[in-house]
Copies of this chain bind each other. A is one copy, B any other.
Amino acid sequence: MLPNDPRLKGFGDRATLAEVQGWIDSACAALPVVEMAADAAAGLVLAADMTAPADLPPVAASALDGLALRAEETYGASSYNPLMIQLVGRGGQLLPGTAMQVPLGAPLPEGADAVLGYEAAEIAGGMVEVMAHAAPGQGIVRPGQDAAAGQVLLPACRRLRGEDCALALTARLGTLPVHPGPRVLLLSAGRFAGADLLPVVLGPIIRRDGGRVVGQGAARGDREALARLLLKADADLIVIAGASGLDADDRAALVLAQVGELTCHGLALRPGDTGGFGRVADTPVLLLPGSPGALRLSWEMTGARAVRRLAGLPPGPALPTKVLPLAHKVVSEVGWDEILPARINHEGMLALTAREVVGSGAVARADGFILVPADGEGYAEGTPTAIHLFDT
């Protein structure tokens, strides 16, 4: 038994959202740095500045498909006064009086100091008719022009984009120091058809925040099954959805306290008031609602924060926001953090899609959510309010 089993009685003290976020922050630090192949690192967080080991490009290169030549040999050339220069095969040094075809990005042949576009030349019979003059340096990318040796190409803490990984490979950095993506285990403990729904609801948001679902399981009210799933877990974060409420059959908190540690149970957060936090061995464990709508909303303030911190990202909330006036008054109980699903109505104002999240309909109809912090009583109609916009 738990010393203060709240079942059939109600929660006594509830932890505040700020307290839970504090526990999440202390339990979830960025995962230890690994060296990851650059082409597999997109989406992960860089753990150290990435500096250019050499100039990019390393030598002068052509900035276009054209003719490498000596600029001084084109002085005075125009379409009225074409100058003839001998076209030579590719490779080797460029001798005086000759021009050589070079493709964009190729090293400039020694002796050349400009690249002229084909629009300004005509090629016939092994000769180039040059019809414009070239300035020295024209059509050339200088060594280090894209990046100089030693320059910080990407700062530490950057979430790597695909083009960042391409830049690393171009700079011949085969591996990068990154925080690996947190592995999340999703366990369904309740009555809801949650075992199937959990990865559907949470998978996209976990990926959004740099993590990945590494497993799922369903205990369906069976204590022993849940205990076994927890004890054999190999993950960076464990989520137990459902069975954390006040019903006699709700045993998630009990099992967590038995096989690990239950730090708190019962939050001053809606939805998610039956949530909790603890750990099994060193792995943080979140208790969350089993109902998909409540799960989706409370995840943003709890699970998403855990995933983002493990991934090395700022804690969030991660979604883009827009500030719009409220279409109606929003009342909220002091002492409770509330996450309310809202949509942007046809007048560009924010309207709640439901006061109580009873299913996922209200969340599906929402464009995002607004937050009413614990110290607020709500907002008057017309109050400019931030909506956090769903994007996944």
* Interface of A toward B, CB cutoff 8 Å: 6-11, 38-39, 42-43, 52, 56-57, 61, 63-66, 101-106, 117-119, 122-123, 141, 145-147, 153-154, 161-167, 169-170, 191-193, 196-197, 199-205, 245-250, 274, 290-293, 296, 320, 354, 356, 358-365, 390, 392
Contacts and interface: CB of A to CB of B under 8 A. Distances in A.
A170 B104 contact: no
A201 B162 contact: yes
B42 A200 contact: yes
A341 to B, nearest CB: 10
Given A63-B356, A146-B354, A162-B392, 4 more contacts: A57-B358, A103-B191, A146-B362, A153-B364
Contacts of A358: 57, 61, 63, 141, 145-146
A166 B247 contact: no
Contacts of A248: 101
- What 5 A-B pairs are tightest by C-beta distance, nearest first? A146-B359, A10-B119, A103-B247, A65-B246, A146-B361
Given A8-B123, A65-B246, A200 B162 contact: yes
12 contacts: A8-B101, A9-B123, A42-B203, A56-B361, A65-B247, A66-B246, A162-B203, A167-B364, A169-B200, A170-B193, A170-B197, A320-B320
A290 B201 CA distance: 38
A146 to B, nearest CB: 4
Given A8-B118, A200-B42, A167 B360 contact: yes
Given A153-B364, A204-B43, A245-B65, A359 B163 contact: no
Nearest to A360: B167
A169 B141 contact: no
A359 B56 contact: yes
A186 to B, nearest CB: 12
B201 A360 contact: no
B169 A361 contact: no
B204 A162 contact: yes
B245 A163 contact: no
A109 B249 CA distance: 17
B196 A39 contact: yes
A166 B200 contact: yes
A145 B293 CA distance: 14
Contacts of A191: 103, 105-106
Contacts of A52: 361
A117 B197 contact: no
A339 B7 CA distance: 61
A103 B246 CA distance: 8
A41 to B, nearest CB: 9
Nearest to A164: B364
B166 A201 contact: yes
B364 A154 contact: yes
A117 B246 CA distance: 9
Contacts of A291: 104-105
Nearest to A341: B163
A203 B160 CA distance: 13
A362 B166 CA distance: 12
